[in-house]
């Protein structure tokens, strides 16, 4: 098998924009030293390609991996002599993937593309020879066999594989000095069911753990390559299975002991870690022992109705508030907290913007990734919005571009985007941000282990920070940081130095978020909004209908006839007549629920009755949609089709709960 082909070139394309939360574009410019080409280092290497690299090695005389985000050399030359070009990446690299695929095709290479950028709708379909969606391990063998006998398919649908088959990264494929952190995956999959999230659909609900010997081999290799910096454990939900997570932490501890260093680590997990159960308490203490210095939590929103709506039950458990949970996490694990937040749920409103900002500013969390809610392919949210007629475009999958891809419930698209900017400004204005930084410094552990950077490197970074664009802000807060560090540690101690280093690191990140916010403000100023983009969905459904167009003349009187309804705003809703009736039924559902005091605990037959009632009210009030069709089929349709949709009853129950909370709010005032 070895040497069957000459050369494989693996390429990680450039990101399409630096204006993303995680690019850390401005902060990485301050990092010293720069990479081997004199450019700023990148945060992390492309882990998917590091695994593919090891897997492909036996099949080729040579395999090379190029990360175009660190390597400025011309790609055309590097592709020279390559039989196969393997491109990988996420949707935020789509333009780069298209450009690199086009170039490779021009050079006569066979082009294969994989990674989370790939979906059935991918524009790469027309350019690349072979696409692989989702986990590649299940189908890569079939692809290689196909390449050999000329029968390779143009599209492969990957699926969750056994952990023994996970690709094993080969960190020697890249110059590690080009990165600030390393990446490693210990588990895949998430058992939770958040409505907006595509992870369970892509990587499965079952929690699969990399075999211990493979994780050990990765840590060993990193140690052999001289890596002493932080490692991002890129798992979707590290505590997806608490027992397995505890086992993993104990193993990580043992590995650290045998290698002689517990590398600083961070990961992604849920607020379940703050639950008041013995297993979670144990997990919290092991996070500290294994040197997890920070972690990323999907907090999403302080709005309880929105958490219900999106089925984020894990954030609603127990007696502690979310803010108390975040604090408990830092107190007991000693680690910092990064928050993922989302604005734009149906239960959000212009009024909840302030609540959102205040919530964030009252935490001790400096770094918060806020995104506007977007419906991603294969999510329950996408299915719901499609059914409701509210989806307007596919998502860029860059959740920090301030674009929403559906019509929000209580405010317009224009207002959603303005609200987003208001939130970013509210949380990244210096006073609010540095107040959170100081609260973080009060709690953050100062005894974590981090060896690696020399005094000179740190010194150069600090000089860049204190002489850069936001230097005045940083000088203003430096004495406060010093006071906190001094109060906690002796000023000549290593722990004091670590707290001050943390302050400087957060200064650099402030620059990134502040520049990104102002870039977004400029983009929003130039955005043009159509008149229909200035209405909320609630308003839209109350607008007069100005035209109903029957798409096929022969099915005039049927409920299944395809129609397009145009509203006074210019927005058009298309579908079968009965589906359009359903779209408008949301408008009537609310008053039926209130008038009839419907409880969220309703049964399936009660839900069906409720739905039929709402649809018939639309038929009465919006007779132009019905035309002269016979309404007797409504009940059958609801029973036989709608009520069989997955999660039908749960969704209706959540809608009712949302309505009740709203009504409760109004009557409380
Ligand atoms: C690590 C990570 C990052 C790192 C990226 C590191 C890097 N090299 O650039 C950081 C933290 C920087 C990051 C940033 C962002 N990320 Co990110 N990130 C992840 C995360 C958590 C893990 C990715 C990973 O390493 N997985 C482990 C490896 C083994 O899996 P993999 O890369 O998918 O590879 C597998 C297959 O896809 C396949 N494969 C991969 N490449 C190729 C190529 C070929 C040819 C083949 C055949 C197969 C193949 O083989 C592997 C094994 O099956 C994922 C979540 C997830 N579970 O995917 C999100 C995820 C990829 N990120 C996402 C997003 C949105 C972002 C940001 C845009 C967020 C933001 N607004 O800032 C930014 C953009 C980055 C930037 N620089 O601007 C989305 C992407 C959505 C999409 N459809 O593409 C994801 C899926 C999370 C989510 N559900 O929202 N991210
Ligand atoms: S948002 Fe997080 S917890 Fe929810 S399903 Fe996705 S990965 Fe799991």
What pLDDT, in 10s, does the model give residues 85-117? Answer: 999 999 999 999 999 999 999 999 999 999 999
In a domain, 490, yes or no: yes
Q: Domain ends where: 497, 524, 551?
A: 524
In a domain, 588, yes or no: yes
Q: Tell whether 573 and 506 lie within a shared domain.
A: no
Q: Smallest Cα–Cα separation from 422: which of 373, 474, 346, 370?
A: 370
Which mutation among 188, 193, 197 tests ligand 2's pocket best, with the greatest number of atoms within 8 A of CB?
197
Q: Tell whether 411 and 367 lie within a shared domain.
A: yes
Judging by beta carbons within 10 Å of its beta carbon (0-12, 13-18, 19+), is residue 379 exposed, middle or buried? buried
Which mutation among 194, 202, 379 tests ligand 2's pocket best, with the greatest number of atoms within 8 A of CB?
194
Question: Which residue's CA lies nearest to atom 77 of ligand 1?
Answer: 23
Question: Which residue's CA lies nearest to atom 81 of ligand 1?
Answer: 397
Q: Measured between alpha carbons, how far is 482 from 487 in angstroms, rounded to an integer?
A: 8
Ligand nearest to the CA of 23: 1
Q: Which atom of ligand 1 is nearest to the CA of 87?
A: 45
Determine if ligand 1 sits within 6 Å of the CB of residue 245.
no
Q: What is the DSSP string of 166-216?
A: S----GGGS-GGGBSSEEE--EE------TT--HHHHH-SS-EE--HHHHH
Which mutation among 55, 90, 101 tests ligand 1's pocket best, with the greatest number of atoms within 8 A of CB?
90
Q: Residue 236 Cα, ligand 2 centroid: separation in angstroms? A: 7
Q: Helix, strand or coil for residue 372? A: strand
Q: Residue 550: in which H helix or E strand, if any?
A: strand 545-550
Determine if ligand 1 sits within 6 Å of the CB of residue 203.
yes
Q: Tell whether 85 and 134 lie within a shared domain.
A: yes
Question: Which residue's CA lies nearest to atom 28 of ligand 1?
Answer: 48
Q: Which atom of ligand 1 is nearest to the CA of 136?
A: 53
In a domain, 480, yes or no: yes
Q: Tell whether 112 and 19 lie within a shared domain.
A: yes
Q: Tell whether 63 and 194 lie within a shared domain.
A: no
Q: Tell whether 110 and 211 lie within a shared domain.
A: no
Q: Tell whether 269 and 217 lie within a shared domain.
A: yes
In a domain, 537, yes or no: no
Ligand nearest to the CA of 134: 1
Q: Residue 29 Cα, ligand 2 centroid: separation in angstroms? A: 32
Letter string b/e over residues 95-113, b meaning 16 or more CB atoms within 10 A of that residue's CB: ebbbbbbebbeeeebbbbb
Number of domains in the chain: 3
Q: Residue 430 Cα, ligand 1 centroid: separation in angstroms? A: 31
Which mutation among 185, 187, 188, 190 tests ligand 2's pocket best, with the greatest number of atoms within 8 A of CB?
190
CATH of the domain at 124: 3.40.50.2300
In a domain, 158, yes or no: yes
Q: Residue 564 Cα, ligand 1 centroid: separation in angstroms? A: 39
Ligand nearest to the CA of 207: 2
Question: Which residue's CA lies nearest to atom 67 of ligand 1?
Answer: 398
The per-residue pLDDT for 555 is 65
Q: Tell whether 327 and 403 lie within a shared domain.
A: yes
Taking the C-alpha atoms of 416, 420, 421 and 426 in order, what is their torsion angle to the nearest 10 degrees? Answer: 130
Question: Which residue's CA lies nearest to atom 51 of ligand 1?
Answer: 48
Q: Tell whether 471 and 564 lie within a shared domain.
A: no
Which mutation among 275, 298, 301, 314 tests ligand 2's pocket best, with the greatest number of atoms within 8 A of CB?
298
The per-residue pLDDT for 666 is 47
The per-residue pLDDT for 668 is 47
Q: Measured between alpha carbons, how far is 152 from 111 in angstroms, rounded to an integer?
A: 12
Contacts with 151 (C-beta within 8 Å, 6 or more apart), sequence order = none
Which mutation among 187, 205, 237, 381 tests ligand 2's pocket best, with the greatest number of atoms within 8 A of CB?
237
The per-residue pLDDT for 450 is 62
CB 109 within 8 A of CB 79: yes
DSSP one-letter code for 17: -
Q: Residue 111 Cα, ligand 2 centroid: separation in angstroms? A: 32
In a domain, 529, yes or no: no
Domain coverage including residue 435: 181-524
Q: Tell whether 219 and 336 lie within a shared domain.
A: yes
What pLDDT, in 10s, does the model give residues 562-620? Answer: 999 999 999 999 999 999 999 999 889 989 999 999 999 999 999 999 999 999 999 99
Q: Residue 325 Cα, ligand 2 centroid: separation in angstroms? A: 18
CATH of the domain at 421: 3.80.30.20
In a domain, 535, yes or no: no
Q: Smallest Cα–Cα separation from 506: which of 458, 436, 457, 446?
A: 436
Ligand nearest to the CA of 376: 1
Q: Tell whether 209 and 250 lie within a shared domain.
A: yes
Residues of the chain with pLDDT under 50: 3, 666, 668-669
Q: Which atom of ligand 2 is nearest to the CA of 300?
A: 1
Beta bridge partners of 406: 391
Ligand nearest to the CA of 25: 1
Question: Which residue's CA lies nearest to atom 12 of ligand 1?
Answer: 22
Q: Domain ends where: 133, 164, 195?
A: 164
Q: What is the DSSP string of 285-318?
A: HHHHHTTEEEEEEEEE-S-HHHHHHTT-GGGT-S
The per-residue pLDDT for 59 is 97
Question: Which residue's CA lies nearest to atom 7 of ligand 2?
Answer: 236
Ligand nearest to the CA of 520: 1
Q: Domain ends where: 131, 164, 197?
A: 164
Taking the C-alpha atoms of 250, 255, 257 and 258 in order, what is their torsion angle to the nearest 10 degrees? Answer: 140
In a domain, 116, yes or no: yes
Q: Residue 91 Cα, ligand 1 centroid: separation in angstroms? A: 9
Question: Which residue's CA lies nearest to atom 53 of ligand 1?
Answer: 135
Q: Which atom of ligand 1 is nearest to the CA of 137?
A: 53
Alpha-carbon dihedral sign for residues 302, 306, 308, 313: negative
Q: Tell whether 185 and 318 lie within a shared domain.
A: yes
Determine if ligand 1 sits within 6 Å of the CB of residue 166.
no
């Amino acid at each position: 098998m070895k040497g069957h082909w000459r050369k494989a070139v693996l390429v990680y394309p450039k990101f399409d924009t630096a204006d993303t939360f995680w690019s850390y574009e401005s902060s990485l410019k301050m990092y010293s030293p720069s990479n081997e080409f004199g450019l700023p280092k990148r945060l992390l290497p492309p882990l998917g390609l590091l695994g593919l690299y090891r897997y492909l090695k036996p099949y080729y005389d040579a395999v090379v991996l190029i990360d175009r985000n660190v390597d400025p050399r011309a790609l055309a030359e590097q592709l020279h002599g390559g039989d196969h070009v393997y491109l990988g990446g996420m949707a935020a690299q789509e333009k780069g993937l298209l450009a690199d695929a086009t170039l490779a095709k021009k050079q006569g290479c066979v082009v294969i593309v994989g990674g989370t950028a790939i979906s059935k709708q991918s524009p790469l379909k027309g350019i690349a020879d072979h696409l692989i969606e989702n986990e590649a391990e299940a189908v890569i063998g079939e692809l290689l066999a196909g390449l050999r006998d000329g029968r390779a398919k143009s599209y492969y649908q990957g699926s969750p594989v056994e952990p023994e088959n996970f690709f094993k990264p080969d960190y020697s494929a890249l110059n590690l000095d080009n990165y600030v952190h390393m990446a490693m995956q210990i588990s895949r999959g998430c058992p939770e069911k958040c409505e907006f999230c595509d992870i369970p659909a892509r990587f499965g609900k079952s929690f699969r753990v990399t075999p211990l010997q493979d994780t050990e081999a990765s840590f060993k290799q990193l140690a052999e390559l001289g890596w002493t910096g932080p490692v991002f454990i890129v798992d979707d939900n590290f505590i997806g299975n608490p027992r397995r997570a505890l086992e993993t932490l104990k193993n990580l501890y043992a590995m650290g002991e045998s290698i002689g260093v517990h590398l600083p680590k961070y990961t992604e997990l849920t607020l379940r870690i703050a639950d008041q159960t013995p297993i979670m308490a144990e997990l919290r203490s092991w996070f500290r022992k294994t040197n997890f210095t920070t972690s990323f939590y999907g907090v999403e929103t302080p709005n309880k109705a929105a958490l219900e709506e999106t089925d984020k039950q894990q954030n609603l458990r127990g007696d502690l508030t979310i803010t108390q949970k975040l604090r408990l996490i830092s107190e007991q694990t000693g680690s910092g907290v990064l928050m993922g937040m989302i604005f734009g749920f149906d239960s959000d409103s212009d009024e909840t913007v302030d609540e959102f900002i205040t919530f964030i500013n009252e935490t001790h969390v400096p770094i918060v990734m806020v995104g506007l809610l977007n419906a991603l392919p294969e999510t329950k949210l996408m299915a719901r919005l499609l059914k409701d007629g509210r989806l307007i475009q596919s998502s860029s999958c860059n959740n920090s571009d301030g674009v929403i891809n559906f019509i929000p419930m209580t405010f317009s698209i224009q207002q959603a985007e303005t609200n987003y900017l208001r939130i970013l400004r509210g949380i990244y204005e210096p006073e609010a941000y540095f107040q959170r930084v100081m609260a973080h410094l009060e709690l953050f552990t100062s005894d974590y282990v981090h060896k690696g950077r020399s005094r000179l490197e740190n010194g150069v970074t600090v000089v860049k920070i204190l002489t850069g664009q936001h230097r005045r802000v940083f000088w203003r807060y430096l004495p406060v940081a010093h006071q906190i560090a001094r109060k906690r540690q002796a000023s000549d101690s290593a722990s004091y130095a670590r707290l001050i280093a943390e302050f400087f690191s957060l200064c650099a990140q402030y620059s990134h978020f502040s520049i990104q916010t102002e870039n977004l403000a400029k983009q929003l100023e130039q955005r043009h909004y159509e008149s229909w983009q200035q209405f909320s969905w609630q308003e839209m459904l109350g607008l007069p209908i100005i035209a109903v167009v029957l798409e096929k003349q022969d099915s005039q009187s049927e409920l299944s006839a395809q129609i397009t309804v145009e509203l006074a705003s210019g927005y058009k809703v298309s579908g079968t007549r009965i589906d359009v009736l359903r779209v408008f039924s949301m408008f009537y559902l609310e008053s039926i629920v209130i008038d009839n005091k419907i409880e969220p605990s309703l049964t399936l037959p009660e839900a069906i009755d409720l739905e039929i009632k709402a649809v018939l009210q639309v038929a009465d009030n919006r007779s132009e949609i019905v035309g002269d069709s016979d309404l007797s089929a409504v009940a059958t349709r609801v029973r036989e089709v709608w009520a069989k949709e997955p999660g039908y009853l749960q969704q209706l129950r959540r809608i009712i709960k949302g309505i009740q909370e709203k009504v409760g709010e109004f009557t409380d005032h």
